[in-house]
Structure 1
């Protein structure tokens, strides 16, 4: 018997809510199509996230699309996420078009700008659809947000513009799955409802026979099929799109990370989440700060504002006590800038022009500028025989005496980072520091972990993608049986 033929040159996955499982369904289908020899590209018209990745063409896209590109076995490209919004406040965001910073806008101005953004979306989609056999599209949030329907480019607005079918995903683990699905349909126009070819119920656990009555009711009420009921897969190691994943391993080595209001690229800590010897604590606002062997200051989309947050939350006093008793301190990107003497923003790159005092633990100053560094990096530790790989995403340059003691020698001959004279404090612009197993082991050894070992994050990610694809095989086959909507 021949394998079923994939009938959809473009298919869009939308969700009833944020975190319903859109990203994982797209990743699973990308892998299933790639395994069958199709060239498939992931695509998300508009993303809002502070977790981002650097692409082969030197652009910046949402982290979820970079993961989906791994699943599709293709290089991540800026066309896969042509509009990326990186919030800098509750009402404003940095607008990135085709991988490059275009402007900082408030919500009202961006709403007017969406007509221009849609042109960028359609240009990227057109290029991908010409290069690939299939394009798997991920929506954003929910298509039922009535206040966002006008000029929509992220959900049904895009689907209508390119005339593609849609599958609707709902998370049964949240409860109310049937209300989510029927309510979402009721909020759509008739042409949009007609575009929905079926439902996926995600994160189910229990006896599926007890669900059958509800599935029958849903299909009878809506006239649309339930394409798959996907199981709740525990222990997946996949890059989060935005929300901080706070689960932790119960090891003996304690690492503390403050959750900054504009924390960015917290996927830097995925390898530590997976490490069996690490107890990783994410400490939110007003939460108690536990003792630590290592404290890591993470990246930030708004370094000066997040520095003020650390001050207000009492982190300088905590860090002083931590260092007095021999603990180690690491800063990544924005966290690295906070470790210095001053952060200067004369052009108002992050908000009001001005300067802020840093924590003063490294003899460096940082000057923020409008040019954004977007670079993939490979290199080695200066003081250890270990490789490192990562990427830079920042809008500042740091200089000072401690930069004469760099952390990394990079393959292009440049250096990165700074180390305090006593070796207790370290900072680097490289995101993904712990992703390479050798780098993970070396950093944990520096931080004082006995018999430190690394974690192969790429292997864990690949195993999770394989699990996703295996669980979604039935969805793939069901989709192959449907007829393309005329």
Structure 2
């Protein structure tokens, strides 16, 4: 079962277990014009934009079914829209914004990001483009990411309320260095004190990069400088290069070569650097990748970078498992010989076969892979490694062991879950301090009374 990272984070913030009803329809873009459509946690198919537009009638029923199940289970449901509710070209067949609110009869708060500029114009314009009944559902506005002196904004807030006859329910401040998991956007490279750096990590950004949140814990570590290498840039000096996941491995392998990153990796290895591949990046480090059915793109085969003794064939059925085991990396710095547990989830369509005599990345506890408990692969010279485990850095012990393999003695940090809880607390404190909860509770109370009356 699969839901979006954002909905899983929201479930964590609410203190409840994540469930597919929290994200009944998930779109995973494959290109600018098509995406994989996932309904109630199961992949339905890849659809072009027009095909999905036609499919929305079916998808809408899935959304309504999920909402009803949640209503039966919880007292308050907060619904997050997608995109802008006033996107005229997408209004027909809309299932994520105002059409949904009309169907379930719920109040609406419109939020504007003032950091992008033009917040008042965005709010007024959005409201104007809604129908009369939809406008009546809007109970107020929230302005997000405000920097500076709030008194300088007050005249604008007064004008906004007079112009729309809707209250401003709060102005949330910009929270510097808020490190919450992002669904799609790759966050900017962090600023770190150069004297504190013990490990430099470079991650090339593929066109079809996936699961970029794998690197959140590296970004948050005070002794690790992580750089996302954009297209058109070269990979500069680093201790560790990590090839991330990809939704189209063969296309991104071609992109890697187009930008000269294959030459950068070869130079990096000549200077005794380490390379780690995760999921699609793991497949790229092998000998060949075959896509006989065009699962990810065009039918065909591609020659890999040739650093690992593996061959991958893509299958239509996606493997989705949670795994835990022991790391088998030989650390370059002293680690007292302690066995280190690594855990993560696998989500891939590739079946990888390894040549005889390979070294495994991890020894899994669950033994769900075709060739037993051995997972991933390490090159004979211990410079290159690959694994299907997403989230391997979320455990402090595993992160410390992998950085030790890369040649750095880094300090242990909090778990990923603890780090996210701390950031959620920062966000919750800001909401508590800067939103008009008395008015918001009134809207919630009125809605609850209305449902009980119905």
Q: Residue in 2 aligned with 1:401?
A: 355
- C-alpha deviation, 1:454, in angstroms: 4.2
Q: Find runs of 4+ consecutive structure 1 residues off by over 6 angstroms.
A: none
Whole-angstrom distance in 2 between the partners of 1:481 and 1:341: 62
Q: Residue in 2 aligned with 1:333?
A: 279
TM-score in terms of structure 1 length: 0.85
2:279–2:348 CA contact under 8 A, matched in 1 = yes
1:347–1:353 CA contact under 8 A, matched in 2 = yes
SS state of the match for residue 319, structure 1?
helix
SS state of the match for residue 3, structure 2?
strand
Match runs of 1:372-451 below 5 Å? 372-383=318-329, 385-401=339-355, 404-413=358-367, 414-451=373-410
Distance 1:130 1:402, change over 3 A: farther
Matched, 1:481 2:438: no
RMSD of aligned Cα (Å): 1.5
- C-alpha deviation, 1:150, in angstroms: 0.7
Match runs of 1:81-160 below 5 Å? 81-160=23-102
- C-alpha deviation, 1:120, in angstroms: 1.2
- C-alpha deviation, 1:231, in angstroms: 0.9
**Of the candidates 285, 293, 310, which is equivalent to residue 364 of structure 1?**
310
Matched, 1:185 2:139: no
Whole-angstrom distance in 1 between the partners of 2:205 and 2:282: 15
- C-alpha deviation, 1:280, in angstroms: 0.8
- C-alpha deviation, 1:377, in angstroms: 2.0
1:275–1:455 CA contact under 8 A, matched in 2 = no
Q: Residue in 2 aligned with 1:235?
A: 177
- C-alpha deviation, 1:388, in angstroms: 1.5
Whole-angstrom distance in 2 between the partners of 1:477 and 1:466: 20
SS state of the match for residue 60, structure 1?
coil
Whole-angstrom distance in 2 between the partners of 1:207 and 1:321: 50
Greater Cα radius of gyration, structure 1 or 2: 2
Choose 418-427 or 70-79, whichever is displaced more: 70-79
1:274-314 residue CA offsets vs partner (Å, 9 max, x unmatched): 11111111011102321110000001111111111101111
- C-alpha deviation, 1:451, in angstroms: 4.3
Distance 1:66 1:82, change over 3 A: same
Gaps of at least 5 residues in structure 1 are: 1-58
* Count of matched residue positions in the alignment of Structure 1 and Structure 2: 428
Whole-angstrom distance in 2 between the partners of 1:157 and 1:357: 48
Q: Which has the higher contact order (CA 8 A, sep 6+)?
A: 1
Q: Residue in 1 aligned with 2:335?
A: none
Whole-angstrom distance in 2 between the partners of 1:242 and 1:199: 25
Matched, 1:260 2:206: yes
- C-alpha deviation, 1:455, in angstroms: 4.6
1:402–1:418 CA contact under 8 A, matched in 2 = no
Whole-angstrom distance in 1 between the partners of 2:67 and 2:357: 43
- C-alpha deviation, 1:404, in angstroms: 3.8
Whole-angstrom distance in 2 between the partners of 1:323 and 1:81: 42
Whole-angstrom distance in 2 between the partners of 1:62 and 1:372: 16
Whole-angstrom distance in 2 between the partners of 1:402 and 1:241: 38
Q: Residue in 1 aligned with 2:370?
A: none
1:378–1:388 CA contact under 8 A, matched in 2 = yes
Whole-angstrom distance in 1 between the partners of 2:390 and 2:276: 12
1:203–1:233 CA contact under 8 A, matched in 2 = yes
